[in-house]
Amino acid sequence: MSLAHLVIFGRPGSGKSSLAERLGADFGYRLIRTGELLREAVRRQDSLGRQVESQLKAGQLVPDDLIGTLLETNLVAGNQERLIFDGFPRTLGQVAILERIEERCQLSIDAYVDIHLSLELAARRMTGRRVCPKCAATYHLINRPPRVAERCDHDGIMLISRTDDSAEVVAIRQQIYEQHSGPLLAHYRQTMGAKFQEIDGSGTFAEVYQSLCRHLGLVG
Ligand code: AMP
């Protein structure tokens, strides 16, 4: 196993967060999930949380400068852990933020992976999505059910639906993804060569996970 730091891209419902979690559990990655960090800030009602609450509820992107500050406070130089960035970068403006993080924390991203899924399939998948309000583990009622119905595998807490998983907000989030992902992925496709990989996300969780591990050279 050779890879260190990863970025995982994918539209809402592509399964990227579940895949990142599983990679974290199997290979010891620390997940850097901007969405979860923002939801935590909202739960704490700190100054960032109060600033971003309405944007999260509406499915709108949080301004790039706030994302930069959020990551600066969560990533320190001299980090020894292997990281997966999930949900960041999301805009071309955030590409520069990631570059600054790489420089400041002396880390370099080894692979950029896009989990590719059609809008139709993703929308269907999102209706069954559940999350743990305590540890943020992600489940799906059909594709990735918890061991005990509606309870988190890790802490037994009752699972919930995210408030921004309602049909109207999902439609907005998909629209925003369409708007930003084209230029963002084109940038990495053009500049990163073999470090950029696209993976078909339409199979079962197990199939996609296996394909992801194979692409990353994590299994033979
Ligand atoms: P996620 O959990 O990745 O689906 O993100 C949930 C919400 O958090 C998004 O709909 C945005 O409102 C916000 N968010 C998460 N990551 C970012 C980011 N990198 N840039 C801007 N907004 C973000």
Q: 41 CA distance to ligand 1 centroid (A)?
A: 12
In this structure, which residue's CA is closest to atom 15 in ligand 1? Answer: 35
Range among 3-7, 19-23, 103-107, 143-147 rated most confident = 19-23
Return the residue whose CA atom lies nearest to atom 5 of ligand 1. 35
Q: List the beta bridge partners of residue 9.
A: 114
- Residue pLDDT, tens place only, 18-56: 999 999 999 999 999 999 999 999 999 999 999 999 999
What CA–CA distance (Å, rounded) separates 99 from 167?
34
Greater confidence, 123 or 6? 6
Q: Is the confidence at residue 1, as pLDDT, over 50?
A: no
Please identify, by atom number, the ligand 1 atom nearest to the C-alpha of residue 60: 12
Average pLDDT over residues 209-217: 95
Average pLDDT estimate for 189-210: 95
Closest residue CA from atom 6 of ligand 1? 35
Point out which residues pair with 8 in neighbouring strands: 86, 113
- Residue 107 vs residues 6, 148, 194, 220: alpha-carbon distances, Å: 11, 39, 18, 26
pTM across the whole model: 0.90
pLDDT-derived band at 216 (thresholds 50, 70, 90) equals very high
3-state SS string over 78-122? Answer: CCCCEEEEECCCCCHHHHHHHHHHHHHCCCCEEEEEEEECCHHHH
CA distance 131 to 28: 21
The pLDDT, as a whole number, for residue 3 is 57
What is the per-residue pLDDT for 106? 86
Instruction: State the pLDDT at residue 2.
Output: 46
Using CB distances shorter than 6 Å, the residues near ligand 1 are 12, 34-35, 38, 55-56, 59-62, 67, 87-88, 90, 94, 164, 173
Distance of CA 42 to the CA centre of its chain: 18
Q: Which atom of ligand 1 is nearest to the CA of 34?
A: 16
How far is the centre of ligand 1, averaged over its atoms, from the C-alpha of 179 (Å)?
Answer: 14
